[in-house]
Structure formats: C-alpha cells, structure tokens
Amino acid sequence: METNAARLQESMEEMARIGATPGGGVHRLTLSDADREARDLFARWSKEAGLSVTVDEMGNMFARRQGTDESAPPVMTGSHLDSVPNGGRFDGALGVLAALEVVRSLNDAGTPTRHPIEIVNWTNEEGPRFPPSMLGSGVFAGAFQRDFAYSIQDATGKKFFDELERIGYLGDLPCRRRPIAAYVELHIEQGPALITEGKQIGVVEGIRGLTWLRITMKGERDHAGPTPMHMRRDALAGAARAISAVREIPGKLHPDLVATVGEVNVSPNAINVIPGQVTFSVDIRHEDESILKRAEELVLQAAKDAAGWEGLDMEVDRIGGSSPMPFDAWITATIDDACMKEGCSSLRMWSAAGHDARYAADLCPTAMIFTPSVGGKSHAEDELTTWEDVFMGCRILGRTILSLAQQS
C-alpha cells in the first residue's frame, strides 16, 4: 500500500509543536494542558479522516474506521501522545500519527477492510507524573483497578482523576477488555541495537519484564558542622553507597540486564544540613523472570548493606512491575512478510522499554514494529529517528495492518 510521506512528516511536526522545549524536544506530561492540546489535535484529525472518536473512563481515545464486517473485532494500532519531562518528539507520537497516516492512505485509495481499524491513544504510558506507567492500557487489560488509577497523586498532590476531569478527557465508555482481532504498535526502538546492527526495522518478539522499586533511607537530620563523622547517620551517604552498588549489579549477573536509579529526593536538601531522609527509585529490566527476580534480591541486599553501614532505617516500596511478555508468532511473521515485500532489512529483538503492547498482549495476538533511534537515545530532547526510517516504519505498519484487517 502507498502512504503519504509528506503528510506524515507535517503531522509529526505539528504535533511536536505542542509542549515543544527550547532543546527541540517535547514536555507533554500526562493530563497536563499540553496533553489536552495533543489530544484535541488527534481528535480533530481523526474526525477529519472520517473516524468516530470515543473516550473511555481512563481517557484512552479510540478513533475507529468502519470495517465491511462490523461484527468482526477491530484490529487495533496506536501508541501514546504523553511524554517524559523534556522528552523526545518521536516516542509515542510516531505510533499514533503513523497509524493515522495508514488510515488516511486507505481512505485515499478507497480501500475497505473486513475488520474495523481502531487507532488508540493510551493515557499515561510514560508514568513519571502518575506512576506506574502504562496505566491506561493496564486498566483496559485488567492489570490495575480503575479506582486505584484515579487515586494516584502527582508530586504536587494533584489526583489523576481530578486532572483527567480538568482537561476534559474523562469519558463515559467503560475501560475494560473487549474483543480485539490483533494489536500492532509502531514505536521508536529507544536503544542502540538497530543502529548498531545497521537494520531499518525491528520485529519485536516480546517485552522484557520490569521491576520498579522506591527505597527510602532514614537517618538523623543534623547540622553539617558540629556533628562528628562517627556520630552521623547520614541518609544520603547510605543512599549513595546503595546507588553505586546498583550500577554494578547487572555486570555481575547478565549482559542484557539493566538497572537504573533515575530519581533521588533528599530531605531537607540544604547545603549545611546532614540529610535525614533520602528516597530513590530503582528500575530493573530483563526478559527472563528468574534473572529479574535475582537482580531485585541483589539490589535489596546492596541497599540493606548500605543502610546497615550507616545505621539507617530502610523502607522498600514495590511501586510497579510487569513480567516478561512474549509476543504472538503470527503477528511477527506478518511484520516479517511486510519487511520482505518492502525489501527492507530487519532484526528480531526484545523490547527493553515497556509499552502498552505489553498489556494488549494479554487480550489478543500482539506485536510491535521498531524504527531506529539515532545514537540509541530516547527520553531526551535530542531523540531522533530519521525521516527515511519514519516513512519505512509507517509503510511496514500499513502493510501489516492491511494484512491483519483483511483476514477472515
């Protein structure tokens, strides 16, 4: 099938102006004003393309193109329009807007499909504002309770529910599983594998498991001057020791394991006060459940040792996680086939980033298509996928969707 490269690029560029940062990225936190603006634009474009747009009670948006057999379950595709703080312009938006381009191109060609096609914009894929991530798809798939999601607060105490209502995206469609024929998501790789191997498309066979922890160390807040070193219980000294240890754990366990401390909050965070309390996050990912579990044990042991060294109390909060999820062989074969027909190079791979496709896979045959990330960079303002790769990703998505939507 043909897609319109110029139109896709224009749409990507217009979307990237919403929440644009001086550094060339986007700052479009979930349920912020910028998120609302992005949603409004997607809804307008969808309606202009003749799609019916519905919003569910988690704010997930579904833009539906009718099929010739309206009793057939839809083929679903899409991604998310929210971003991390000062994130990139391709992460998420590519999957939504390429899906829109596929539908626009089907319209241009007057091509009907047997199955309806639904483009989804999932709420709160990213999660930094309202952890855990993939909340919209998670509630949809039954992994989280809706009311749990509603009650989550951001760092300033604002509730998910109130913000959802405030931006006008509290829909009345129930957020729960329903029949879906297949789910395919196009996304940037966010890692260096495709660039390093010189391949244009990643055929994603599954999503690595993820563990999110928040560890709090409590010591004794005191004046930095008169308190002798041997009398201190410095929460930051303990946390720093633990964070250093976390950095070294993957190297001891498995080459594909990653462990990251991305967030640290120090109290009171004043130059002349010994910190009384420090909270830090740990993000651990691997495709093998047993290695993920072992890594978590090592992280907790390292934190416990560090806390003990400094005489600190420690609390561990398991704030999120998902087990490894292999994708569907029928869908990945369909993507392989599309690559062969387009004559583009591809690589079979596992995703180390979490995606809404993780939860979609609980509901229906699912897989993902990756495009290369220059320098392997993502969640950063200089995140980049070349237009050439963007267009190829869209063509592969189009062929895959068309093939799936014509199945009897």
Q: What is the DSSP letter of 275?
A: -
Does 380 interact with a copy of itself (rule: CB under 8 A)?
Answer: yes
Candidate list 9, 86, 153, 407; residue touching a copy of itself; CB under 8 A: 86
Contacts of 194 (CB under 8 A, 6+ apart): 200, 201, 202, 347, 349, 370, 371, 372, 373
Contact 130, 319 (CB under 8 A): no
Residue 116 to residue 66: CA distance in whole angstroms: 5
Residue 147 to residue 139: CA distance in whole angstroms: 9
Does 324 interact with a copy of itself (rule: CB under 8 A)?
Answer: no
Does 21 interact with a copy of itself (rule: CB under 8 A)?
Answer: no
Question: What per-residue string of b and e applies to 240-255 under the rule 16 or more CB within 10 Å gives b?
Answer: bbbbebbeebbeebbe
Contact 38, 145 (CB under 8 A): no
The two structure tokens encoding residue 402: 């068309």
How many residues make contact with a copy of itself (CB under 8 A)? 72
Which residue lies nearer to a copy of itself by CB, 23 or 168? 23
Contact 389, 396 (CB under 8 A): no
C-beta of 225: minimal distance to a copy of itself in Å?
4
C-beta of 374: minimal distance to a copy of itself in Å?
12
Does 41 interact with a copy of itself (rule: CB under 8 A)?
Answer: no
Among the residue ranges 10-18, 48-56, 325-333, 347-355, the one whose residues contact a copy of itself (CB under 8 A) = 347-355
Does 273 interact with a copy of itself (rule: CB under 8 A)?
Answer: yes
In 3D space, the residue among 175, 158, 157 whose CA is nearest the CA of residue 167 turns out to be 158
Does 149 interact with a copy of itself (rule: CB under 8 A)?
Answer: no
Does 298 interact with a copy of itself (rule: CB under 8 A)?
Answer: no
Does 79 interact with a copy of itself (rule: CB under 8 A)?
Answer: no
Does 90 interact with a copy of itself (rule: CB under 8 A)?
Answer: no
Element (DSSP H or E) covering residue 261? none
Binding to a copy of itself, residues 170-209 (CB under 8 A):
189-193, 208
SS3 of residue 69 by DSSP: coil
Which residue lies nearer to a copy of itself by CB, 52 or 244? 244
C-beta of 99: minimal distance to a copy of itself in Å?
22
Candidate list 26, 352, 360, 401; residue touching a copy of itself; CB under 8 A: 352
SS3 of residue 104 by DSSP: helix
C-beta of 201: minimal distance to a copy of itself in Å?
16
Beta bridge mates, 192:
none
Which residue lies nearer to a copy of itself by CB, 260 or 406? 260
Which residue lies nearer to a copy of itself by CB, 168 or 311? 311
Q: Which single residue is written with the structure tokens 């224009």?
A: 10
Contact 294, 284 (CB under 8 A): no
C-beta of 394: minimal distance to a copy of itself in Å?
21
Does 300 interact with a copy of itself (rule: CB under 8 A)?
Answer: no
Among the residue ranges 7-15, 340-348, 377-385, 393-401, the one whose residues contact a copy of itself (CB under 8 A) = 377-385
Does 311 interact with a copy of itself (rule: CB under 8 A)?
Answer: no
Candidate list 47, 107, 176, 270; residue touching a copy of itself; CB under 8 A: 270
In 3D space, the residue among 135, 190, 187 whose CA is nearest the CA of residue 164 turns out to be 135
C-beta of 340: minimal distance to a copy of itself in Å?
25
